[in-house]
Amino acid sequence: MIRACFLALADLFSKSFRRALWLALLLTAALLAGLGYAAHYGLQAIPPFGWHWLNTVIEIAGDLGIVVGSIVLAAPVASIVICVFLEDVAVAVEAKRYPNDPPGRSLGLWPTITTGLAFLVPLLLVNLIALPFYFVPGANLVVYLIANGYLLGREYFELVAFRHHPPPVAARLRKAYRVRVFLAGAIIALALLVPILNLLAPLFGTAFMVHVFKHADKHAPSRA
């Protein structure tokens, strides 16, 4: 797991990743900035109240909410961005690190997007339900990692695994290595909390999960 994480970080800044890296940065930053601006504009549209102190409280709470919301929405936004760059990243990692393995088949952009969007709704719902816990010191990080670790781990793993196996086989492989997949998802979720790195999380997560999948596929019980 640790080796896979460092391999993914090394791959992230390799030459073959450069185009996808800049495009992912621009797209993720633009989506988060657009959502933040829309929320700020919506707060500004609220008519001022007669009490100055209440307006100040609303303004501070609104700005805090935008910051927290940006962190919460980082995972859903990342799940959208991954759909665009999954193919390029997976192909680059497999060609560089696993040249002797059979190459994965192309899923096509639209099937990849629909699969990613299928995870977006539960990801949003889980984070909205968990939102009150994000304001509780100590519990916030634990709740965040558990909720997003499972969903992100499942999404990234299956999107990578679908390039090599039919969905039922990919699902069985994920369940056989559920702990490893969850831990990988938690690491990806943790990366989403780190400034700058959170913009690279879709690329890192894809590269990381390729290594996790390759290990699981190689050591699957059916292949023992």
Domain limits, the chain: 2-217
What pLDDT does residue 180 have?
Answer: 95
What pLDDT does residue 159 have?
Answer: 86
* Cβ-count burial 26-43 (b if 16+ within 10 Å, e if not): ebbeebbeebeeebeeee
Select from 25, 130, 125 the least CA-distant residue to 68: 130
The answer to whether 198 and 81 have CB atoms below 8 angstroms apart is no
Query: What tokens appear for 191 in the block?
Result: 């990366």
What pLDDT does residue 224 have?
Answer: 45
* Cβ-count burial 119-153 (b if 16+ within 10 Å, e if not): bbeebeebbeebeeebeeeeebeebbbbbbbbbbb
- In the chain (224 residues long), the average pLDDT of successive 10-residue segments reads 86 76 75 79 75 77 76 67 76 90 83 74 84 86 91 90 92 94 93 76 88 91 57
How many whole angstroms separate alpha carbon 163 and alpha carbon 170?
Answer: 9
What pLDDT does residue 82 have?
Answer: 66
Half-sphere exposure of 4 (CA within 13 A, CB side): 22
